[in-house]
Amino acid sequence: MTSKKVVELFYDVVSPYSWLGFEIICRYRNVWNINLKFRPAFLGGIMQGAGNKPPGLVPNKFAYMTKDLHRLANYFSVPLHPPADPFEVMFQKGTLSAMRFVTAVQHMETDGDKQVEQVSRELWRRIWSEDKDVTKPECFSEAAKKAGLSDDEIEKALELSTSQEIKDKLKRSTEEALNYGAFGFPMLICHVDGKPEMFFGSDRFELMANCIGEKWLGPNPDRSASRL
Protein backbone atom coordinates (compact mmCIF):
# COMPACT_ATOMS: atom_id res chain seq x y z
CA MET A 1 0.00 0.00 0.00
CA THR A 2 1.26 3.47 -0.80
CA SER A 3 1.97 5.86 2.06
CA LYS A 4 -0.99 7.79 3.37
CA LYS A 5 -1.58 11.26 1.97
CA VAL A 6 -1.73 13.96 4.60
CA VAL A 7 -5.00 15.91 4.62
CA GLU A 8 -5.33 18.96 6.88
CA LEU A 9 -8.77 20.27 7.83
CA PHE A 10 -8.85 23.93 8.91
CA TYR A 11 -12.10 24.80 10.66
CA ASP A 12 -13.96 26.92 13.20
CA VAL A 13 -17.11 25.78 15.01
CA VAL A 14 -18.80 29.08 14.14
CA SER A 15 -19.10 27.77 10.57
CA PRO A 16 -21.98 25.36 9.80
CA TYR A 17 -20.37 24.39 6.49
CA SER A 18 -17.27 23.42 8.46
CA TRP A 19 -19.38 21.01 10.51
CA LEU A 20 -20.62 19.35 7.32
CA GLY A 21 -17.11 19.09 5.90
CA PHE A 22 -15.77 17.83 9.23
CA GLU A 23 -18.28 14.98 9.46
CA ILE A 24 -17.69 13.88 5.88
CA ILE A 25 -13.91 13.77 6.12
CA CYS A 26 -14.20 11.94 9.46
CA ARG A 27 -16.33 9.29 7.72
CA TYR A 28 -13.70 8.91 4.99
CA ARG A 29 -10.59 8.86 7.18
CA ASN A 30 -10.69 5.05 7.32
CA VAL A 31 -12.08 4.62 3.80
CA TRP A 32 -9.45 6.64 1.94
CA ASN A 33 -5.71 6.13 2.41
CA ILE A 34 -5.23 9.41 4.25
CA ASN A 35 -3.69 10.77 7.42
CA LEU A 36 -6.22 13.34 8.65
CA LYS A 37 -4.97 16.24 10.74
CA PHE A 38 -7.39 18.58 12.50
CA ARG A 39 -6.36 22.25 12.34
CA PRO A 40 -8.62 24.37 14.56
CA ALA A 41 -8.28 28.04 13.58
CA PHE A 42 -10.15 31.35 13.92
CA LEU A 43 -12.48 32.20 11.05
CA GLY A 44 -12.72 35.85 12.07
CA GLY A 45 -8.98 36.19 11.54
CA ILE A 46 -9.28 34.50 8.14
CA MET A 47 -12.01 36.86 6.95
CA GLN A 48 -10.08 39.92 8.09
CA GLY A 49 -6.75 38.68 6.75
CA ALA A 50 -8.19 37.72 3.36
CA GLY A 51 -10.37 40.82 3.07
CA ASN A 52 -13.46 38.64 2.68
CA LYS A 53 -17.05 39.39 3.68
CA PRO A 54 -19.10 36.71 5.51
CA PRO A 55 -22.05 35.43 3.42
CA GLY A 56 -24.38 36.23 6.31
CA LEU A 57 -23.76 39.95 5.71
CA VAL A 58 -25.01 39.77 2.11
CA PRO A 59 -28.85 39.53 2.23
CA ASN A 60 -29.30 37.36 -0.86
CA LYS A 61 -26.48 35.05 0.17
CA PHE A 62 -27.94 34.73 3.66
CA ALA A 63 -31.39 33.84 2.29
CA TYR A 64 -29.82 31.22 0.04
CA MET A 65 -27.60 29.88 2.83
CA THR A 66 -30.61 29.21 5.05
CA LYS A 67 -32.22 26.98 2.41
CA ASP A 68 -28.89 25.49 1.37
CA LEU A 69 -28.00 24.37 4.90
CA HIS A 70 -31.35 22.62 5.26
CA ARG A 71 -30.78 20.66 2.05
CA LEU A 72 -27.18 19.86 2.91
CA ALA A 73 -28.05 18.72 6.44
CA ASN A 74 -30.47 16.17 4.96
CA TYR A 75 -28.05 15.08 2.25
CA PHE A 76 -25.07 14.69 4.60
CA SER A 77 -27.14 13.24 7.49
CA VAL A 78 -25.92 15.86 9.95
CA PRO A 79 -28.41 17.17 12.58
CA LEU A 80 -27.89 20.81 11.64
CA HIS A 81 -30.61 23.29 12.69
CA PRO A 82 -29.67 26.99 12.53
CA PRO A 83 -30.02 28.93 15.80
CA ALA A 84 -32.84 31.40 16.27
CA ASP A 85 -30.47 34.34 15.79
CA PRO A 86 -27.52 33.33 13.58
CA PHE A 87 -26.27 36.92 13.41
CA GLU A 88 -25.87 37.09 17.19
CA VAL A 89 -24.09 33.73 17.25
CA MET A 90 -21.71 34.42 14.38
CA PHE A 91 -21.04 38.15 14.54
CA GLN A 92 -21.78 39.34 18.08
CA LYS A 93 -20.78 36.41 20.29
CA GLY A 94 -18.29 34.65 18.01
CA THR A 95 -16.18 31.63 18.84
CA LEU A 96 -12.70 32.92 19.65
CA SER A 97 -12.81 31.56 23.20
CA ALA A 98 -14.34 28.30 21.98
CA MET A 99 -11.57 27.79 19.43
CA ARG A 100 -8.94 28.51 22.07
CA PHE A 101 -10.55 25.80 24.18
CA VAL A 102 -10.50 23.37 21.24
CA THR A 103 -6.84 24.27 20.68
CA ALA A 104 -6.10 23.60 24.35
CA VAL A 105 -7.76 20.18 24.17
CA GLN A 106 -5.70 19.34 21.10
CA HIS A 107 -2.53 20.60 22.77
CA MET A 108 -3.14 18.31 25.77
CA GLU A 109 -4.01 15.21 23.77
CA THR A 110 -1.02 12.92 23.38
CA ASP A 111 -2.63 9.74 22.07
CA GLY A 112 -4.47 10.33 18.80
CA ASP A 113 -7.09 13.02 18.18
CA LYS A 114 -10.32 11.53 19.50
CA GLN A 115 -10.82 14.19 22.16
CA VAL A 116 -10.38 17.17 19.86
CA GLU A 117 -12.71 15.49 17.36
CA GLN A 118 -15.42 14.88 19.95
CA VAL A 119 -15.11 18.28 21.63
CA SER A 120 -15.32 20.04 18.26
CA ARG A 121 -18.40 18.01 17.39
CA GLU A 122 -20.12 18.80 20.68
CA LEU A 123 -19.47 22.53 20.29
CA TRP A 124 -20.94 22.45 16.76
CA ARG A 125 -23.90 20.54 18.15
CA ARG A 126 -24.48 23.17 20.82
CA ILE A 127 -24.53 26.03 18.29
CA TRP A 128 -25.95 24.45 15.16
CA SER A 129 -28.31 21.84 16.53
CA GLU A 130 -29.35 22.85 20.06
CA ASP A 131 -29.12 26.69 19.86
CA LYS A 132 -26.97 26.88 23.00
CA ASP A 133 -24.24 29.27 24.00
CA VAL A 134 -20.52 28.55 23.43
CA THR A 135 -18.92 31.66 24.93
CA LYS A 136 -18.62 30.79 28.64
CA PRO A 137 -16.37 28.32 30.49
CA GLU A 138 -19.40 26.35 31.70
CA CYS A 139 -20.45 25.85 28.06
CA PHE A 140 -17.04 24.39 27.23
CA SER A 141 -17.24 22.17 30.31
CA GLU A 142 -20.62 20.77 29.26
CA ALA A 143 -19.40 20.07 25.74
CA ALA A 144 -16.18 18.47 26.96
CA LYS A 145 -18.08 16.33 29.48
CA LYS A 146 -20.29 15.00 26.69
CA ALA A 147 -17.15 14.40 24.63
CA GLY A 148 -15.82 12.11 27.35
CA LEU A 149 -13.18 14.27 29.04
CA SER A 150 -12.65 13.85 32.77
CA ASP A 151 -13.22 16.67 35.25
CA ASP A 152 -9.45 17.05 35.70
CA GLU A 153 -8.89 17.22 31.93
CA ILE A 154 -11.63 19.81 31.55
CA GLU A 155 -10.24 21.97 34.35
CA LYS A 156 -6.76 21.82 32.83
CA ALA A 157 -8.05 22.65 29.33
CA LEU A 158 -10.05 25.63 30.65
CA GLU A 159 -6.97 27.00 32.40
CA LEU A 160 -4.75 26.36 29.39
CA SER A 161 -7.20 27.98 26.96
CA THR A 162 -6.56 31.42 28.46
CA SER A 163 -2.75 31.09 28.33
CA GLN A 164 -0.58 33.03 25.93
CA GLU A 165 0.80 29.73 24.62
CA ILE A 166 -2.62 28.62 23.35
CA LYS A 167 -3.57 32.07 22.06
CA ASP A 168 -0.36 32.07 20.02
CA LYS A 169 -0.93 28.51 18.80
CA LEU A 170 -4.41 29.38 17.48
CA LYS A 171 -3.01 32.52 15.88
CA ARG A 172 -0.27 30.51 14.15
CA SER A 173 -2.78 28.01 12.80
CA THR A 174 -4.89 30.87 11.43
CA GLU A 175 -1.82 32.45 9.83
CA GLU A 176 -0.83 29.12 8.28
CA ALA A 177 -4.31 28.84 6.77
CA LEU A 178 -3.93 32.32 5.29
CA ASN A 179 -0.53 31.35 3.90
CA TYR A 180 -2.19 28.44 2.10
CA GLY A 181 -4.60 30.95 0.54
CA ALA A 182 -7.60 30.62 2.87
CA PHE A 183 -10.53 33.00 2.48
CA GLY A 184 -13.11 31.00 4.45
CA PHE A 185 -13.78 27.62 6.09
CA PRO A 186 -13.86 24.69 5.84
CA MET A 187 -10.56 24.45 4.03
CA LEU A 188 -8.89 21.14 3.24
CA ILE A 189 -5.25 20.92 2.26
CA CYS A 190 -4.23 17.68 0.50
CA HIS A 191 -0.51 17.10 0.30
CA VAL A 192 0.05 15.42 -3.08
CA ASP A 193 3.52 14.74 -4.51
CA GLY A 194 5.05 17.27 -2.17
CA LYS A 195 2.59 20.03 -3.10
CA PRO A 196 -0.39 21.38 -1.12
CA GLU A 197 -3.71 21.29 -2.98
CA MET A 198 -6.40 23.50 -1.45
CA PHE A 199 -10.13 22.70 -1.48
CA PHE A 200 -12.65 25.13 -0.03
CA GLY A 201 -16.14 24.24 1.16
CA SER A 202 -18.10 21.11 2.04
CA ASP A 203 -18.99 20.21 -1.57
CA ARG A 204 -15.58 19.52 -3.12
CA PHE A 205 -15.07 15.95 -1.95
CA GLU A 206 -15.61 14.34 -5.35
CA LEU A 207 -12.96 16.58 -6.88
CA MET A 208 -10.69 16.05 -3.90
CA ALA A 209 -11.01 12.28 -4.22
CA ASN A 210 -9.91 12.50 -7.83
CA CYS A 211 -6.92 14.61 -6.81
CA ILE A 212 -5.67 12.09 -4.24
CA GLY A 213 -6.47 8.98 -6.29
CA GLU A 214 -9.50 7.84 -4.28
CA LYS A 215 -13.20 7.25 -5.00
CA TRP A 216 -16.09 9.37 -3.78
CA LEU A 217 -18.77 7.04 -2.47
CA GLY A 218 -21.29 9.68 -1.44
CA PRO A 219 -21.88 11.29 1.95
CA ASN A 220 -22.20 7.94 3.74
CA PRO A 221 -19.38 5.75 2.38
CA ASP A 222 -20.05 2.81 4.68
CA ARG A 223 -23.59 2.47 3.35
CA SER A 224 -22.44 2.93 -0.24
CA ALA A 225 -19.72 0.31 0.12
CA SER A 226 -22.19 -2.23 1.51
CA ARG A 227 -24.28 -1.93 -1.66
CA LEU A 228 -21.37 -2.50 -4.03
Output the pLDDT for position 105.
Answer: 98
Kindly list the strands in the beta sheet with 187-192, ordered across the sheet, starting from the edge strand earlier in the chain. 34-40, 5-11, 187-192, 195-200
Q: What are phi and psi of 148, to 5 degrees?
A: 100, 10
Per-residue pLDDT band for 226 (boundaries 50, 70, 90) equals: very low
Output the pLDDT for position 89.
Answer: 85
Looking up residue 140, the CATH number of its domain turns out to be: 3.40.30.10
Query: What is the distance between the alpha carbons of residues 99 and 94, in angstroms, rounded to a whole number?
Result: 10
Total domains present in the chain: 1
Per-residue pLDDT band for 224 (boundaries 50, 70, 90) equals: low
Mean pLDDT across the stretch 170-191?
A: 98
| Residue (of 170, 166, 141, 135) closest to 155 by Cα position | 141
Mean pLDDT across the stretch 151-179?
A: 98
Beta strands in the chain (DSSP E): 5-11, 34-40, 187-192, 195-200
Tell me the per-residue pLDDT of 95-123, one tens digit each, with 9 for 90 and over. Answer: 999 999 999 999 999 999 999 999 999 99
- Structural domain span for residue 206: 5-227
Out of 3, 15, 202, 226, pick the active-site residue.
15
Per-residue pLDDT band for 228 (boundaries 50, 70, 90) equals: very low
Task: Report the chain's mean pLDDT, rounded to a whole number.
Answer: 94
Tell me the per-residue pLDDT of 54-94, one tens digit each, with 9 for 90 and over. Answer: 877 788 988 898 899 999 999 999 999 999 998 888 888 89
Q: For residue 173, indicate whether it is catalytic.
A: no
For residue 23, the Cα-to-chain-centroid distance in whole angstroms is 8
